[in-house]
Amino acid sequence: MSRTTGFSSFIHAMWKYKALTLMMLPAVLVLLAHSYLPMFGIFIAFKNVNYLDGIWGSPWVGFDNFQFLFSSGDMWRIVRNTLLYSLTFMIMNLVLSVSIAVAINEIRRRLLAKVYQSFIILPHFLSMVVVSYLVYAFLQPDHGFINATVLKAFGQDPVFWYSEKEYWPYILVFVNAWKHAGFGAVIYIAAIAGIDPEYYEAALIDGASKWKQITHITLPFIRPVIIIMTILSMGSIFSSDFGLFFQVPMNSGALYPVTDTVDTYVYRALMQLNDIGMSSATALVQSVVGFIMVIATNSMVRRIDREQALF
Amino acid sequence: MTKLKGRRPLFTAILLVLALSLQACSGGNNGGSAEPSASSSAAATNSTSSAEPAGGAEALKPYEVSIIYFGAPQRDDALVEAKLSEYFKEKFNATVDLQPIASSEYKQKTELMLNAGEPMDLVFTASWLNFFGNVAKGAFLDLDDLLAKYGQGISENLNPIYLEAPRYKGKLYGIPTNKEITQGKAYTYRKDIIDKYNIPIEDIKTMSDFEPWFKLLKEKEPGLILDFIKESGEGMMYETRSNFRAIGPTPNKIPLFLYDYTNTDNIQIKSVVDPEISSIAQAEYELNRSYYEKGYINSDAATTTTEIGDLRKQGKIWMQQAVWKPGADIELKIASDNKYDFVSKVIEEPIVTTDLAAGSMFSISRTSKDPERAMMVLNALHTDPYAVNLFVNGIEGTHYKKISENRIEPIADSGYGSSALFWVVGNQLINYLKPGQPDDLYTSWKQFNDEAKRSPLLGFVFDESPVKNEITQLTSVIGEYRAASTGAIPDPAKMLAERNEKLKKAGIEKVKTELQTQIDAWKAAQ
C-alpha cells in the first residue's frame, strides 16, 4: 500500500515539476542508452564468440575469459598502478578543486574571477592526444623545453624522459591535475554560490578572519557536495584514463612499470587478438569492483553520518 | 503571475532539450563511415535505375555487390562506382557498392562489421589484418567450389603458389591479389651519397659494416639521420646474421619463434629465449646502443612516430632497411617526389612464406547474399583490364591520359587515382604502367614470382586458440621491452635477460611446444 502511494507520489512530483523533468530527460535517455542498454551484453564475457554462431549461438566458456587477466605475471603491478593513481588523483583533484573554488570565490572583481575560471577550465576540453604532444614539447630529449632550455641553463645533463620511469608518477599526477582540477572546481563554485551571504556578514561582524570564514562557513556548507563527488568517483577507481596512461607517455615500453593500468594492459594485450569475450570480461571486472567500492564508501559514510550518505 | 512563472522555465527547458538533441545528432554523424557509404550506395541505386536491363544477363537477378577495401575515400568514388556498375550490369547484371576505408581504421572497422554481422560481399583482408584469426572465427566463406565454377580466370592468371597460402584446415578462404608474391630484404641507399663518398655497398652486409661510414658521414653530412630507428621491429638482424626466419605470432613486429629455412626436412622451432637466438639479438642490441651513444641513431628512437617516408622526402635519410622486389628503387623514387635516386643491395633472398603470399587478398564474407556474383566480380577484376584499371586509375580522360597501349599519365588533383589501390585490387599485372615504371616491370615480376624460393613452412598457419592466454601475456612482455632494440635504452643486455626471464614466466615454452606440435602434424599431413 505504502509503495503504491510512494510511486504515485513520485509520478505526481514528476508532473508537478514537469519543467525540471523535461530538463532531466536528455540526460536520462543518454544514461539509459549508454549505461543500461549495453548491460544485456554482460553475457558476452562468458562466451567464446565466433562470427559463424554469432553472439547468441557461440559456446559458453564459463570463466575462461577471465583467466588471462588473473594469470598475468604483471597482475600485481597493474592493479597497484590503477588503484594508487586513482586514489592519488581523487585526493589531489579534490584538494585542488576545492582550493580553486574557494580562491575564485574570494576574488572581488567578478570579471577577473570569470577570466581565471575560464583559463583553468580550458585544459579539460583538450584531447589527450593534444595534451600528449604538449608534454612532448617539454620532454623531447633533444629540443624539448626542459632539456634544451631549463636543464641547460642550470648546466645539468639532459634527461631521457621517455625511458626513465622514476619521474613519471609525478608527471602523470601533474598532468591529470592540470587537466581536471579546474573543471572539478565548477561544481564547488556553484555550491559556494549557494551559501547565504548573511553567514559571512555575521562572521564579519564577529570579527572572523578570512581563514576562519573559509574553515567555519564555506567548507562545512560544501561538505555534502564533497562527499557526493567522492562517493561517485569511487565508482571508477578500478578504471583509468586511457589517454593519460597511453598517449601522454607515448606508449613507451620502458615506462610500463609505472604507467601500465588495467585499461592500457587490456588494450595492448587484446589489440592483436580481437577477442570481444576477453575484453568484456575485463570491463565486467572493472564495473563490479567499481560497484563494490561505491557501496562500501557509501556505507562507510552512512556509518559516520547518516545524513550525508548518498543512498 | 503564477502562470508566467510556470511557463518560463518550461520554455527554457524545451530550448535546452532541443539544443542537446541537436548536438547529439551532429555528434553521431561525425563519427562513422555512414556518410561516404550512404552517399555512394545512393549513387549506386541511381545508376541502377538509369541503366536499364541490358542484354546478356537476363538469367541473373540484379544484385549489388559490396566491396570493402583498403584505401582512403576519394572525391570521385561515386563516379567510378557508377561506371563500374554500368559495366558489370551488362556482363552479369551486377552493380557494385564501393566502400573504401582509410588504412588507419581499416582493421578496427572491418572487425566491427564482422562482429556485427553486417551484410558484405567482397572484403579486403591480409595476413597482417588478422586474416587467419578471422577465418578461425568463421568470418569468411570457403572458396574452393566458387573459384572452380566462377573464377577460372583467376586460377589461370595466378601463380599456383598463391593459392597454397590462404588456407585454413585445407580449405581456401582468400583470393590473393596478383602482384609480386614475396619480397626480399635489402639495404636501400640514396645514390647521390653513395657516389659522392664511393661507398662500396656490395661489402656492407650487416649493421656492423656501417661503422666507418657512419663515422665519416657524421662529420661530412651533419644534416643526415644516419640510422633512423623506430621502436617497432628489430630491423633485419636475423636475416643478416643467420638463416633463422620468423614463424608464429610477432607482436610489435618482433618475432617470438624462429626456424632455419634452409633445413627443409627436420624443422625445429627455436624461441627467442634460446641461447643461440638471444646471442644474435644481444649482439645487435648492443651494437645499436653503441651507435646510439655515438649519435648515429635518432635520439627519439624509443618513442618516435615519425614516418621514415617523410624524413626521406626532406632528404634526411641516406640508408634504410627496406623490403625489395624488382622496381623497388623506382617505386621509392616516386614515393619521394622524384627527388632522389635510390640503389639497393639485396641482403636476403626472397622466400615465399604464408604471410607474404597472403599479404593482400579478397575474401567473401559469410554474410554475402550472393557469393556467386561476388566471385564473378572478383574474377573480372583479375582478368579484365578495363574493369581493374577503372577501379584503380579511374576514368580515361577524366582521371588519367592514355599515352600508349598500356601506359598512362595520371591527371593531378583529378579526384581519383591518388589512393594506392594497385596492390589492393585484382590483378596488378594488367594495370597500366605509370611514369617512371619500366616497360618490362610485369615480366620481371612474373619471373621473380616463378623463381622465388619456397619456405618449407609455406601453407602452414598457426592456430593460436589453444594458447590464447599465454600469447596475450607474451604480447605485453614484448611490448614493454620492445624499445631495448633501438639503442635508446641503457644496458640492453640486462634488458634482454630480464625480458627473456619474463617471457619464460609468461609461458613461451608452452607456446613453442604447441607450435612445434602443430608444425609436425601439418608436415605429416602433407
Chain B interface test: which of A76, A246, A274 (most B C-beta within 10 Å): A274
> Model confidence over B390-401: pLDDT tens digits?
999 999 999 999
Instruction: Give the ipTM of the model, two decimals please.
Output: 0.74
How close B337 comes to chain A (CA, Å)? 28
Model pLDDT, residue B258: 95
A72/B471 CB distance under 8 A? no
Percent of chain A predicted with pLDDT > 90: 40
Q: Helix, strand, or coil here: B86?
A: helix
- Tell me whether residue B470 is in a domain: no
Map A5-30 to HEC letters. Answer: HHHHHHHHHHHHCHHHHHHHHHHHHH
Model pLDDT, residue A5: 64
Q: φ, ψ for residue B163 (rounded to 5)?
A: -85, 0
> Model confidence over A48-97: pLDDT tens digits?
888 878 778 888 888 888 888 887 777 888 889 999 999 999 999 999 99
> Model confidence over A168-179: pLDDT tens digits?
999 999 999 999
Q: What is the mean pLDDT of residues A233-261?
A: 89
Lowest mean pLDDT: which of B51-60, B214-223, B490-499?
B51-60
- What mean pLDDT value characterizes chain B? 86
Chain A partners within 8 Å of B479 (Cβ): 253, 256, 268
Contacts of B481 (CB under 8 A, 6+ apart): A253, B495, B496, B498, B499, B502
Is the pLDDT at B15 greater than 70, yes or no?
no
Chain B partners within 8 Å of A251 (Cβ): 303
Contacts of A269 (CB under 8 A, 6+ apart): A68, B472, B473, B475, B476
Nearest-CB residue to B20 (from A26, A250, A251): A26
Model pLDDT, residue A4: 55
B17/A162 CB distance under 8 A? no
Write b or e for each residue in B328-337: b if 16 or more Cβ atoms lie within 10 A of its Cβ, otherwise e: bbbebbeebe
**Residue B436's pLDDT band (boundaries 50, 70, 90)?**
confident
Chain A interface test: which of B20, B303, B474, B498 (most A C-beta within 10 Å): B303
Model pLDDT, residue A283: 85
Q: What is the mean pLDDT of residues B85-111?
A: 92
Q: CA–CA distance from A209 to each of A76, A148, A194 (Å)?
A: 48, 46, 21
Cα end-to-end span (Å), chain B = 92
**Residue B58's pLDDT band (boundaries 50, 70, 90)?**
low
Nearest of B465, B457, B468 to residue B526 by alpha carbon: B457
How far apart CA B479 and CA B503 sit, in angstroms, is 11
Answer for the pair B303, A139: CB distance below 8 angstroms, yes or no.
no
Answer for the pair B176, B166: CB distance below 8 angstroms, yes or no.
yes
- Tell me whether residue B321 is in a domain: no
How far apart CA B319 and CA B228 sit, in angstroms, is 8
A67/B469 CB distance under 8 A? yes
Chain A partners within 8 Å of B130 (Cβ): 272, 274
Model pLDDT, residue A273: 67
Nearest-CB residue to B366 (from A18, A52, A253): A52
How far apart CA B311 and CA B301 sit, in angstroms, is 14
Model pLDDT, residue B469: 86
How close A119 comes to chain B (CA, Å)? 24
Model pLDDT, residue A35: 85
Number of Cβ within 10 Å of residue A212's Cβ equals: 12
**Residue B26's pLDDT band (boundaries 50, 70, 90)?**
very low
Q: Helix, strand, or coil here: A182?
A: helix
B472/A54 CB distance under 8 A? no
- What mean pLDDT value characterizes chain A? 88
- Give the residue numbers spanning the domain of B401: 2-180+357-454
What chain B residue is nearest to A29 in terms of C-alpha separation? B21
Q: Is the pTM of this model over 0.90?
A: no
A51/B505 CB distance under 8 A? no
- Tell me whether residue B114 is in a domain: yes
How far apart CA A290 and CA A233 sit, in angstroms, is 9
Nearest-CB residue to B133 (from A30, A142, A274): A274
- Tell me whether residue B405 is in a domain: yes
How close A68 comes to chain B (CA, Å)? 5
Which one has a higher pLDDT value, B108 or B69?
A: B69
Instruction: Please state whether B295 falls in left (phi above 0), alpha (psi between -120 and 50) or beta.
Output: left
For the four alpha carbons of A166, A170, A171 and A176, in that order, the dihedral sign comes to positive
Model pLDDT, residue B218: 93
Q: What is the mean pLDDT of residues A141-160?
A: 87
Answer for the pair A256, B480: CB distance below 8 angstroms, yes or no.
yes
Interface check B502 vs A, CB under 8 A: yes
How far apart CA A298 and CA B463 sit, in angstroms, is 48
Chain A interface test: which of B15, B469, B481, B511 (most A C-beta within 10 Å): B469
**Residue B301's pLDDT band (boundaries 50, 70, 90)?**
confident
Most confident of B29-43, B121-135, B471-485: B121-135
CA angle A140-A141-A143, nearest 5°?
Answer: 70
Is the pLDDT at B260 greater than 90, yes or no?
yes
What chain B residue is nearest to A250 in terms of C-alpha separation? B303
Total structural domains within chain B? 1
Is the pLDDT at B54 greater than 60, yes or no?
no
- Tell me whether residue B17 is in a domain: yes
Model pLDDT, residue B382: 96
Answer for the pair B326, B244: CB distance below 8 angstroms, yes or no.
no
DSSP letter at A218 equals: I
What chain B residue is nearest to A66 in terms of C-alpha separation? B469
Number of Cβ within 10 Å of residue B212's Cβ equals: 9
User: What CATH number should be reported for the domain holding residue B102?
Assistant: 3.40.190.10
What chain B residue is nearest to A21 in terms of C-alpha separation? B13
- Which residues of A lie closer than 8 Å to B, measured between beta carbons? 18-20, 22-23, 25-26, 30, 49-54, 67-68, 71-74, 140-142, 160, 162-163, 250-254, 256-257, 260, 265, 268-276, 278
Model pLDDT, residue B33: 36
- Tell me whether residue B447 is in a domain: yes
Helices and strands, counts by H and E, chain A: 17, 0
Map B420-444 to HEC letters. Answer: CCCCCCCEHHHCCECCCCCCCHHHH
Q: Helix, strand, or coil here: A149?
A: helix
- Tell me whether residue B139 is in a domain: yes
Is the pLDDT at B374 greater than 60, yes or no?
yes
Nearest of A236, A224, A138 to residue A180 by alpha carbon: A236
Can you read off the three cell numbers belonging to residue A57?
Answer: 549461438
Element (H, E) at B281: helix B275-293
- Tell me whether residue B230 is in a domain: no
Please count the CA atoms within 13 angstroms of the CA of B273 that sit on its side-chain side: 19
Chain A partners within 8 Å of B13 (Cβ): 19-20, 22-23
Can you read off the three cell numbers belonging to residue B415?
Answer: 579526384
What chain A residue is nearest to B305 in terms of C-alpha separation? A250
Strand order in the sheet with B257-260: B244-247, B257-260, B270-271
Nearest-CB residue to A68 (from B6, B472, B505): B472
Write b or e for each residue in B369-396: b if 16 or more Cβ atoms lie within 10 A of its Cβ, otherwise e: ebbebbbbbbbbbbbbeebbbbbbbbbe
Is the pLDDT at B65 greater than 60, yes or no?
yes
How far apart CA B426 and CA B429 sit, in angstroms, is 9
